[in-house]
Structure 1
Amino acid sequence: MISTASRTLIVLGLAAALGGCSLFPGMSMPSFFGGGGAEKPKPVELPPSPNLVAVRPAWTARVGEVALPLTVNTAGGAVTVASSDGTVAVIDAATGRDVWRASAGGPIAAGAGSDGKLVAVVTRSNELVALSAGKEAWRQKLAAGGYTAPFVAGGRVFVLTADRAVSAFDGQTGRKLWTQQRPGEALVLRHAGVMLAVGDTLVAGLSGRLVGLNPANGSIRWEAPLASPRGINDVERLVDLVGSVSRVDNTVCARAFQANVGCVDASRGALLWTKPANGFQGVHGDDKLVYGTEADGKLVAWKRENGDRAWVSDRLQYRELSAPLLLGRSVVIGDSNGNVHMLSREDGTLLNRLTTDGSAIASAPVAAGNTLVVVTRSGGIYGFVPQ
């Protein structure tokens, strides 16, 4: 069951017909999305933290409220964060001090992408805005809105928009270089999608497929389906890939919203395996296991070689969990009460619990150098250093 707070993160938007326009956050959902007025299950009680992993609070910072599908970017020893009011902040991961802070000139719908020099966000007015050293470098109008942080690499900015198109822009001038649009279902999730580089291939999530594109011209090199549309109406047929992903060498593992988790060999576009999984947050992993949180709060570890379940933990059930991060011997997960749980990679037992400001963790935790960084919905940014 998905609570009202979680539904805010997965509001549906009409993509092609309405140019990325979305329904109102918090609007009642069909019963199979957890709506219908049913009483939500009570979260499991949290035991005292055993403090088996030593972690110290290092610093705190703030931005505005984070109601957008946030991606916390780490590059060049800095953490880049965007808030709904248009603030973009680049923060030194070691000290928590601002490297620079600027405005995108309007509310932000998706962000932030960065290569350590150029930062890019998508505004609610469907503009792609690039900033450098605290100043606007350029902006371009997009044909549709976007919920996925732009991907900045190789002197280019790549954008995945809600009309299921991928576009490339020159990083220095903002000139559009190409657009590749693929047909898809009528609905799209208001949730961060998938876009990354694997070797010389740009990999993006389009509907239920991972698609490999030539970053020079947008031509499609391969497609690998992780999930297929099902059902008799547009809502039931909704299928999208959600970030974050787990990449090890050429293997990329990702989640299809409330359908499957699967892995693809991105060097040749070969589907390695898929397994049913009922979740809406991304995954993380290593060369042995892929980890993900389900909609009911279970943490699942799948074997990377074949997708078989290695173990399942219900210790955080119904606590509205973020996507996970692997850090040392821990799987790090945030919840809707601002807790950051550090669980054993071996079996999901609790190692430590960290606290923030009490508001929900806004995105997957990230590691920047030696610092664990989490961002809350109320705009708190917290740096922790494992000892």
Structure 2
Amino acid sequence: MNHNAQRDQGRVWGVTVQRTVVAMAMVTALGGCAWFGSGSAPKPMDLGPNVVNLPVRQAWTVRIPAIKDANVRAQVQGQDVIVAAADGTVVSINASNGRESWRGQAGKALQTGVGADGRHAAVVTTGNELVVLEGGNKLWSKPLSTSVFTAPLVAGGRIFVLAADRSVSAFDAQNGAHLWTQRREGEPLVLRQQGVLMPYGNTLLAGLSGRLVALNPDDGRVEWEAPLASPRGTNDVERLVDLVGPASRVGNAVCARAFQAAVGCVDANVGRTAWSQTAKGAVGIAADAEYVFGTESNGILQAWNLADGTKRWSVDRFQHRKLSAPLVLGRAVVMADETGLVHLVSKQDGSHLNRLNTDGTGVAAAPVVAADTLVVVTRGGGIYGFRPD
């Protein structure tokens, strides 16, 4: 989606906004820290009646096979939203009308969400196979030497892959030819969830061990790296600080979360950390020209000042609801929870605007916006389009 399109969608939802969304399971390599928790959990607070301050209607819904893993993202390309189901089904939906643009099949169960540009879509299977589709048809596939939990990035005629061994590789999008691999030593554990892999101008940005690293997309050469958090603690789990997606870009500021450690922003023009604040969250963040928004692991929604990281406000009424990463949409911040409720709050102070229902199976990915439509994907395979009423 281009910058002007983002600004136009903000006007439809209430104000002019500028943002870039890129797109969640919280399981370590040990397989023992599920995002949805285990055993008895504290009871969420009663939300009370839904007083509608921002009228929104459901415009359409589409069904795809179930999304069993929360390690998913919805990819926006122009007016289309592309989503991959657990069984390998990949669907592109026109958000303006809810109709399928195309539907394809990777052929195997998937381990990542989908990355796409206007032509190619890429996923990685549970068998560590990179699969690329074109117009819904399988174009090529290639075995990988290690697991991948981050959706591939498709940009500039290439497929970029961030692997669990903290290597980044590039492949030719048309024929799968291997172009380069950049390897980075790091902590022994990695997160089994979406990391940070995104473009910035002619630079490739990747989250590696708590650092945002800029790579030359032509040869993989490291151009700069900026720390958002440093490993601490006495054991491998405590020292785990991988960056988690989605990250957010506003102008030259790229903001991201380091798992259970910090939220911060980097000046990507010079490769310098602008600020970093302690934060205990496990999913990505969102930002606009004023604020950075994040949902903490206990369900508190926090807003920081984009310029310097000063805390602006927080709300605690969503505690223990296991919130998704947020989305900034017009005058609203949107996030969803494990019950499938979608919450809209004011970006100025966190006050309630509206609450939307889905199918009750829980939301599988951070909400996204395309064609003036808020798109929400559930674990049960429901894809919902909402618009201002």
Normalised TM-score (structure 1): 0.92
| Aligned residue in 2 for 1:3 | none
- Structure 2: state its 5+ residue gaps: 1-23
For each residue in 1:69-115, what CA deviation from the matched residue of structure 2 results, as whole angstroms up to 9, or x when unmatched? 11100102111000111111111111111111111010000021011
1:273 is the counterpart of 2:289: no
| Aligned residue in 2 for 1:64 | 65
Question: How far did residue 312 of structure 1 move?
Answer: 0.6
Question: How far did residue 36 of structure 1 move?
Answer: 8.6
Q: Point out 4+ residue stretches in structure 1 off by more than 4 angstroms.
A: 33-37
For each residue in 1:292-322, what CA deviation from the matched residue of structure 2 results, as whole angstroms up to 9, or x when unmatched? 0000000000011111100011121111100
Query: Aligned letter for 1:231?
Result: G
Matches within 5 A, 1:17-96: 23=31, 27=32, 39-68=40-69, 69-96=71-98
Does the CA contact (< 8 Å) of 1:78 and 1:116 recur in 2? no
Distance (Å, rounded) in 2 between the aligned partners of 1:28 and 1:346 = 33
1:354 counterpart (353, 356, 365) = 356
Question: How far did residue 9 of structure 1 move?
Answer: 2.1
Question: How far did residue 35 of structure 1 move?
Answer: 7.0
1:11 counterpart (9, 14, 27) = 27
Query: Aligned letter for 2:94?
Result: D
Normalised TM-score (structure 2): 0.91
1:337 is the counterpart of 2:353: no
Secondary structure of the residue that 2:345 maps to in structure 1?
strand
Does the CA contact (< 8 Å) of 1:87 and 1:101 recur in 2? yes
For each residue in 1:267-313, what CA deviation from the matched residue of structure 2 results, as whole angstroms up to 9, or x when unmatched? 11101110000000100011110000000000000011111100011
Query: Aligned letter for 2:26?
Result: I
Specify whether residues 351 and 36 from structure 1 end up closer, same or farther in structure 2 by C-alpha distance, changes over 3 A only: closer
Specify whether residues 136 and 329 from structure 1 end up closer, same or farther in structure 2 by C-alpha distance, changes over 3 A only: same
2:319 counterpart (314, 317, 325) = 317
| Aligned residue in 1 for 2:301 | 299
Distance (Å, rounded) in 1 between the aligned partners of 2:363 and 2:58 = 16
| Aligned residue in 2 for 1:289 | 291
Distance (Å, rounded) in 1 between the aligned partners of 2:144 and 2:290 = 40
Distance (Å, rounded) in 1 between the aligned partners of 2:196 and 2:363 = 20
1:147 is the counterpart of 2:176: no
Secondary structure of the residue that 2:25 maps to in structure 1?
helix
User: Percent sequence identity over matched residues?
Assistant: 54
| Aligned residue in 2 for 1:18 | none
For each residue in 1:335-385, what CA deviation from the matched residue of structure 2 results, as whole angstroms up to 9, or x when unmatched? 011000000001111101110000111111000021100000111100011
Specify whether residues 28 and 308 from structure 1 end up closer, same or farther in structure 2 by C-alpha distance, changes over 3 A only: closer
Query: Aligned letter for 1:306?
Result: D
Query: Aligned letter for 1:11?
Result: V
Higher relative contact order (CA 8 A, sep 6+): 2
Alignment RMSD: 1.5
Matches within 5 A, 1:181-220: 181-220=183-222
| Aligned residue in 2 for 1:180 | 182
Considering fraction of residues, name the structure with more strand: 1
Query: Aligned letter for 1:83?
Result: A
Does the CA contact (< 8 Å) of 1:211 and 1:223 recur in 2? yes
Secondary structure of the residue that 1:174 maps to in structure 2?
coil
Question: How far did residue 67 of structure 1 move?
Answer: 2.5
| Aligned residue in 2 for 1:5 | none
Does the CA contact (< 8 Å) of 1:264 and 1:271 recur in 2? yes
Query: Aligned letter for 2:294?
Result: G
| Aligned residue in 2 for 1:326 | 328
For each residue in 1:134-167, what CA deviation from the matched residue of structure 2 results, as whole angstroms up to 9, or x when unmatched? 1101111111111111111111111101010110
Secondary structure of the residue that 1:85 maps to in structure 2?
coil
Specify whether residues 192 and 36 from structure 1 end up closer, same or farther in structure 2 by C-alpha distance, changes over 3 A only: closer
| Aligned residue in 1 for 2:369 | 367
Does the CA contact (< 8 Å) of 2:36 and 2:322 recur in 1? no
Distance (Å, rounded) in 1 between the aligned partners of 2:119 and 2:357 = 31
1:380 is the counterpart of 2:375: no
Question: How far did residue 236 of structure 1 move?
Answer: 1.7
Does the CA contact (< 8 Å) of 2:294 and 2:303 recur in 1? yes
Distance (Å, rounded) in 2 between the aligned partners of 1:36 and 1:118 = 38
Secondary structure of the residue that 1:268 maps to in structure 2?
coil
Distance (Å, rounded) in 1 between the aligned partners of 2:124 and 2:388 = 33
| Aligned residue in 2 for 1:238 | 240
Query: Aligned letter for 1:62?
Result: R
For each residue in 1:212-248, what CA deviation from the matched residue of structure 2 results, as whole angstroms up to 9, or x when unmatched? 0000110000011111111222112111000011211
Does the CA contact (< 8 Å) of 2:255 and 2:285 recur in 1? yes
Question: How far did residue 34 of structure 1 move?
Answer: 9.8
Query: Aligned letter for 1:12?
Result: T
Distance (Å, rounded) in 1 between the aligned partners of 2:167 and 2:60 = 39
Distance (Å, rounded) in 2 between the aligned partners of 1:9 and 1:120 = 19
Question: How far did residue 28 of structure 1 move?
Answer: 6.5
Distance (Å, rounded) in 2 between the aligned partners of 1:378 and 1:101 = 18
Distance (Å, rounded) in 2 between the aligned partners of 1:10 and 1:286 = 25
